[in-house]
Every structure is written in structure tokens, then in C-alpha cells.
Amino acid sequence: MELHVHDKKIINQLQGGFPLCENPWDELEQTLEIPADEIINRIERMRSEGLLSRFGPMYHAEKMGGGLTLAAIKVDKSRYDEVTEIVNSFSEVAHNYEREHELNMWFVIATESPELIQQVISSIEHKTGLKVYNMPKKHEFFLNLKFEI
Amino acid sequence: MDLFHVISDAGVRGLRGLKMLAASLQQIDYKLDDVDRRIISATQSGLPLTKRPFDDVAEQVGVSVTDVITRMQQMTDLGIIRRTGVVPNHYKLGFKSNGMSVWQVPEDKIIQLGEKVGALDFVSHCYQRPVFLPEWPYNLFAMVHGTTHEEVKGKVEKISELLAKDDNGHQILFSTRILKKTGLRI
């Protein structure tokens, strides 16, 4: 799929930062040399097509007082669907991916407070009978804010 | 993170580290108040795509537009807001291959090595995580996206060259299925 050059410009520019001011579109019109209405329409279209998963501020869960971790389980192929259903049933499980490894189910748990992480993990272990490997980040290195397309 | 770690951390991070140090120090005294919380709840699923989005948020929250902008700027300076803008969906944009590369590197050098790996333009996230010996010795995680598995493998090879003798073993865990993905993006 080929994106219009204006779509690319908008994505590349706006990952870096949307201006926090009363007339953000006027400022972007200057920077991107694309009319403000066109920028709004293109974002709207790309969002409805799913090319953009979000437009707005991204909050830092832990700094807001929440808990966040990455967890993994080794699931036998014969039980994979059943275990997926149990894990996904937790509203605290935000993302869940199947990956190629003995540890073949990887999911992100996000909770309102850090203490709740352990409760969710214990509950998943209890319901599945499987060990949950809890891998919270110990250090976050430079996070690339821009993904050039 | 305590003050000692904040400072030693800043040391290896250079100028960017200093900015983070300043933010961490401010944060020690910073508590979100009710207005901040109302702004967060009005914007956590996104900004309205209107001519004057912050005016619309202001109206919803019941404060002035200046207040909304000032609070959001302050939360950005403190790192509570990572950034404001668009989040592309890598998969839909053609980056069909997503490899979680995991690395076993010397624990005493992990900060320097992690910074180097995280700064590569094809690495979107880079974290130090706990190990489970002997079965899981990987302490450094770097997420790599590409249009094909081959492209991701080539990029992972570049990380290996960068780490050189400090690469004590690595693997790529390709995702084979998205089992759940909710709107939450952190």
C-alpha cells in the first residue's frame, strides 16, 4: 500500500509532537506546508482506516501511579485456546501476543496501582495452573518517539 | 528510583540525562491534582479532531483553554505525558514483521549497552528486564519492526555487531498472532 506524500509528512511530523497551543493547526500548516483542513481530513481518514491507532497525548502509566509489566507463560499447544481465553478475560491484560518460543504467550498487564500487578498474576496462575514469568522493566532506555515511514 | 540512581543514571545519559534529572527532581514534589486528573480522563482516549481541540477539552473539563495547555505542557515536562501526536499502527503501515529481540549482556555494562541499542533508529523500545536462570538469561529487550522477517533478522544482526563481545547470546521472538490488543497505548 502506497501512502500519499502528505500522509507520510503528517505521520512523520506528528509522531514527534503536536503543538500545545490554541491554534495548533495553523502552526502545523506553516511547518508542513499543507492546508490545515487537509491535515485534519487526512488524520481523520487514516484513523478510520486504522493506519493511526491514536491521536492525542500518550500518558506514562507508572508516573501516573499505575502498575505495568510484561509477563510470559509457557503454554502447551493443546491448551493454547483455553489459556488465551482465560488470560484475555482479565481487563488488566492490554495486549497479548503469541510468539515463537517455549515461552509462547506474552502479554502486558496494566493496573491502577503497582500492588495490583501481583494480584492479577496470582489469579492468572491460579486459573491456568501455569507459572507466569513476571518481567517488569528495570530500566527504560531511549524510547524512539519517531518511527520514520 | 531514588536520588542516587537518578543522578548516576543522568551521568551516563549526557544532556538528555540532565533534562530527565531535572524532571525527576521536580517530580519528587509533584502530585497530580483534580484538574490534571480531569484533563487526563478527558484526553486519555484521544484529542478531538476539531479546529480548536484544546478549547473543546477545556469546555469538557470546565477550565480555561490556557489552563488546559499549561497543565498539559507541565505534564509533558514531567514525563507524565510522553508525547502528544499520532501513533502509527506499524502493522497496517506495512511493517508486518515484529521481532522481540532478547539479549544476554553483562549486567555491569547494561546501562551503556542499552543506551546504544535503544538509540538505533530501527529499535522502537528497549528495556532491561529481570532474568530467570537458567532458562531465561536475557536481560535486555529490543523491539525491532520490519516489512519482512528477513529485514528484522538483518537489523538484529546489526545489534549483535554493535554489542560485539558483549553479546553473550540472543534470540528473536517473532509474533505469530495478536491475541488481544485494546486501545490502551502506553
Q: Measured between alpha carbons, how far is B68 from B72 in angstroms, rounded to an integer?
A: 6
Give the contacts of B131 (CB within 8 A, at least 6 positions apart): B137, B138, B139
CATH number, domain with residue A71: 3.30.70.3460
- Residue for cell digits 529490543? B142
C-alpha cell at B119: 538509540
φ, ψ of residue B99 to 5 degrees: the values are -115, 125
pLDDT of residue B102: 98
Q: Domain check: are A71 and A126 in the same one?
A: yes
CA-based nearest distance A29→chain B, Å? 12
Residue A42: domain span: 5-48
Residues A74 and A113 in one domain: yes
CB of B78 within 8 Å of a chain A CB? The answer is yes
Residues of A in contact with B2 (CB under 8 A): none
Q: Which of B86, B93, B181 has the highest number of chain A CBs within 10 A, making it the mutation to test binding with A?
A: B86
- Measured in residues, chain A has a length of 149
Question: Residue A24 falls within a domain, yes or no?
Answer: yes
For B42-57, what is each residue's pLDDT tens digit? 998 899 999 999 999 9
Query: Which residues pair with residue A107 across a beta bridge?
Result: A71, A96
Are A85 and A129 contained in the same domain?
yes
In CATH, the architecture of B97-174 is 2-Layer Sandwich (3.30)
Chain A contact present for B126, CB below 8 A:
yes
Please check whether residue A142 lies inside any domain of the structure: no
Residue of A nearest to B92 (CA): A51
Is residue A25 domain-resident? yes
Q: Provide the strand spans (E) within chain A.
A: 52-59, 67-73, 93-99, 105-111, 133-134, 139-140
Q: Residue B10: closest CA among chain A residues belongs to which residue? A: A141
Q: How many domains does chain A have?
A: 2
Render pLDDT for A109-139 as a digit per residue (tens, 0 to 9): 999 899 999 999 999 999 999 999 999 999 9
Under an 8 A CB cutoff, do A97 and B179 touch?
Answer: yes
Q: How confident is the model at residue A96 (pLDDT cuts 50, 70, 90)?
A: very high
The whole-angstrom distance between A62's CA and the closest CA on chain B is 9
Which of B44, B128, B179 is opposite residue A139, by nearest beta carbon?
Answer: B128
**B121/A144 CB distance under 8 A:** yes
Pairwise CB contact (< 8 Å): A55 & B46: yes
Is B177 an interface residue toward A (CB < 8 Å)? yes
Q: Are residues A30 and A80 in the same domain?
A: no
Q: Read off the pLDDT of residues B103-162 as tens digits, 9 standing for 90 and up.
A: 999 999 999 999 999 999 889 889 999 999 999 999 999 999 899 999 999 999 999 999
ipTM above threshold 0.90: no
